Structure 1
Amino acid sequence: MIADPFKPAKRVAGQRQDVWSIVNEAAQASPVQPIVNMGQGFFGYNPPEFVLDAARDALSKVDCNQYSPTKGRPRLKKAIADAYSPFFGHNIDPEKEVTITTGANEGMLSAFMGFLEQGDEVIVFEPFFDQYISNIEMPGGKVVYVPLHPPKDGAMKTTSAGDWTLNMKELEAAITDRTRMIVINSPHNPIGKVFTKSELQAIGDLCVKHNIIILSDEVYDRLYYVPFTRVATLSPEVAKLTLTVGSGGKNFYCTGWRVGWLIGPEHLIKYVSAAHTRICYSSVSPLQEATAVAFEQADAHDFWEQSKAEMKGKMDRFNQIWDELGLPYSDPQGGYFVLVNLAKVRLPEDYNFPPHVANRPRDFKLSWFCIKELGVAAIPPTEFFTDANAHIVEDWLRFAVCKDDEVLERAKERLRGLKKYIQ
């Protein structure tokens, strides 16, 4: 008989409170309301009308309200293949090289489940999207961290997100005979870095040399403000090793739809599909159909270019507040997050932080203070670092600009309240 039948598994036991619940609970209890939520990366506005119309229409169809094929609806796979074939330089086979998943996150979990055995190692660049870690560890994988190094003067002046650099010698030193995969995220969350072609080529060459699978998280692939290279396009040898992750939620402003996909060679995709089948069988049928229609009609609405221009405009307008306050930031090359350095902000020495915030790095205190005193929520980025390297970003906060313009203006007005704390 099990001594304690209610004892949780190690994979979920003993975890400290996650950043999302800390920030959201603080926001709900803040005396400054309504809160300006620039924390989580969900959009503050609806998808365009042609996308919403597609969803409404899909709900009226009998087959769209029933199970979809486990690998995804044929119309969506074809729409993705048609949309991405020009970027990849060859005709993507929608039946053999595309699989649909329940959001990009489940797609990445399926990739790890499909290839990792107990003790296999996965290299992740630090900072990282926090879901990578649990997704790797669930099937028994071991995370090996390689840091991205911030610009040396990033705390003194505004720099480019591209100035965060990867030391290739450190990367190669992290490779062992147990290394099975490397995760790349470009455009990067939370930094906003777009990896250059030469950086990706160096990573790709190492993966070819050591026969390592590349999981390329490209969920922000339509929001880039400098030249953007897809790692799978570097060479046939790199392409054979690469699984590319995409997100309908990020592309069409509907993160709650949970429609994602992976593109890759058949010898890799088939095992991702097999794992996906066992994890959730199939994904949401009407929203798959709507995403297919969205892809089919996007060019006619000039959606991609408008989307990129609008987000860059939001980013530039919002970041004016940091120039005004004299606070340096990491100017993003892609995506919709900006890292801001608040080392100049002096928090009151006698400020009463709750214990679960007081024992975390300084960025948690900065986040809590901004929520409670200014009514602006932002994410402390040490959550995306190991404890050993958390000091790198303990003076920074991450803001999401994918909000209505009036919300951004309200945030800027409230953030002017930092002036009296800046030294």
Structure 2
Amino acid sequence: MTGMTSSARPLLNRRLAEFGTTIFAEMSALALSTGAINLGQGFPDTDGPEEIREAAVRALRDGRGNQYPPGPGVPELRTAITAHQQRRYGLGYDPDTEVLVTAGATEAIAAALLALVEPGDEVIALEPYYDSYAACIAMAGGRRVPVTLRAHEDEGCFRLDLDELRDAVTDRTRLLLINTPHNPTGTVLTREELAAIAELAVERDLLVVTDEVYEHLVFDDAEHVPLATFPGMRERTVSISSSGKTFSFTGWKVGWVTGTAELVTAVRSAKQFLTYVASGPFQYAVAEALRLPDSYFEEFRADMRAKRDLLAGGLEQAGFRVFRPAGTYFITTDIRPLGESDGLAFCRSLPERCGVVAIPNAVFYDHKETGAPYVRFAFCKRIEVLANAAERLRKAFAH
């Protein structure tokens, strides 16, 4: 059999031609090769609550979930998810028909877009966006339409322009993909902004997929309010969350979808041909995690807020312009005060310059030039690691 020639048909599906190795793989490899502190990829460097880890061990030993779990997820977890939604947000869901457990939020997003988007449909997403959004829209044959969150330096945050969002909607728009709390900017959409999005969705009869994985990581005066709580939204919203960010077990890959029976059935139709099922024993453990007392969530937020403030202070002392996040565990910075403007080149050189790894925000933009000067740091690490990273950055850049 002869090898492929340069004129042969490309192996990779053209819908995925723009997506190569992710920036996370590249930066994590740099961290390993240089021994740098990895503040790039968003995963904690400590495990979550011991009692939840033991719940997973108990499930394994008791033979619960070692074989295929039910397609929608184990009943204990589906019941715990509905109780969580009711207790936190006053949202009532039927655990048998309106909840679907997925292999993390990433699969939930993929299944939702594959199920609900026809080839040629437009999907509006808030830019910068998590890189899987673009790939999943492409796999569904949709056309992504970015609406950019703009930096407001005087306020130290990024904001949504509601007029720009309205103008982006056309007769071909099928779906809004909304992420709040927002990765990577740390923006938490306000009640007023969410109400305007809801009114637009109802007026233009749009479906909405919401990525709410950082729902329990909001700081200061910010408040997470699910879009599904607004008038006319429950029947058109697929709400997505997961356990990884809240309980610091990102490797377990336990996520979920809530929505009407019709929407959940549609998403399940796609999901069953992706992983089918996953994370059997961990589902039982996450069911217990969702029933932890309010004190757990309050202490978790307080711990992350302290870590945010430590790293943000170090970055400011090093000379970065810092956009202190209202949510998530990421800090976006502007490198132009350092005399830099190319975030990708900056991040590729950073491990050698000072032994720290970060992520260039440009990879989350269609408008690369808009994201070029911004760099993201993760603060979901141990205090001593963050302090060490902050000191390295200060030594490298402070004058």
TM-fit CA distance, 1:39: 0.3
Q: Which amino acid aligns with 2:278?
A: S
Taking the aligned partners of 2:91 and 2:40, their CA distance within structure 1 comes to 38
Q: Secondary structure at the residue paired with 2:73?
A: coil
| Residue type of the alignment partner of 1:7 | L
Match of 2:273 in 1: 278
User: Are residues 1:267 and 2:262 paired?
Assistant: yes
Instruction: Return 5+ residue gaps in structure 2 as ranges.
Output: none
The alpha-carbon distance between structure 1 residues 295 and 87, as it changes in their structure 2 partners (threshold 3 A), is closer
AA of the residue aligned to 1:48? P
Counterparts of 1:68-107 in structure 2, within 5 Å, are 68-107=69-108
Give the drift of 1:111: 0.6
1:130 partner letter: D
Equivalent position of 2:365 in the other structure: 385
Instruction: Tell me by how many angstroms 1:123 deviates.
Output: 0.4
Given candidates 23, 31, 35, the residue that maps to 1:19 is 23
Q: What's the offset of the Cα at 1:6? A: 7.2
Equivalent residue number for residue 344 of structure 1: 337
- Scaled by the length of structure 2, what TM-score is found? 0.94
- For residue 63 of structure 1, give the secondary structure of its aligned residue in structure 2: coil
Cα distance, 1:15–1:224 mapped onto 2, change above 3 Å: closer
Q: Does 1:371 align with 2:351?
A: yes
Q: Distance in 1 between matches of 2:191 and 2:300?
A: 24
Report 1:164-243 matches (<5 A): 164-225=158-219, 226-235=222-231, 237-243=232-238
Distance 1:197 1:40 in 2: 30
Q: Distance in 1 between matches of 2:109 and 2:169?
A: 21
Aligned to 1:305: 298
| Aligned partner of residue 344 in structure 1, secondary structure | helix
Percentage identity across aligned positions? 33
Output the amino acid matched with 2:205.
Answer: N
User: Which one-letter code corresponds to 2:355 in the other structure?
Assistant: G
Deviation at 1:281, TM superposition (A): 1.1
- Give the aligned residue type for 1:227: E
Q: Is the 8 A contact 2:147 2:168 kept in 1?
A: yes
SS in 1 for 2:336: coil
Check if 1:160 corresponds to 2:156.
yes
CA distance 1:363–1:179, shift in 2 (3 Å): same
- Equivalent residues of 1:363, 1:395 under 8 A apart: yes
Moved more, 73-82 or 92-101: 92-101
- Measured after TM superposition, the shift of residue 315 of structure 1 is 0.4
Aligned to 1:7: 11
Q: Aligned partners of 2:320, 2:209: CA distance in 1, in Å? A: 35
The answer to whether the 8 Å contact 2:124/2:175 transfers is yes
Quote how far apart the aligned CAs of 1:87 are.
2.8
Distance 2:22 2:30 in 1: 13
1:29 deviates by: 2.4
**Is 1:290 the counterpart of 2:285 in the alignment?**
yes
In 2, Cα distance between the equivalents of 1:14 and 1:238?
Answer: 34
Deviation at 1:319, TM superposition (A): 1.3
Contact 1:26 1:372 in 2 (8 A): no
Structure 1 pair 18–282 and aligned structure 2 pair: CA distance change class (3 A): closer
Q: Distance in 2 between the 1:182 and 1:210 partners? A: 11
- Structure 2 contact 212–241 (Cα < 8 Å) conserved: yes
Q: Could you tell me how far 1:264 is from its partner in structure 2?
A: 1.0
* Match of residue 357 from structure 1: none
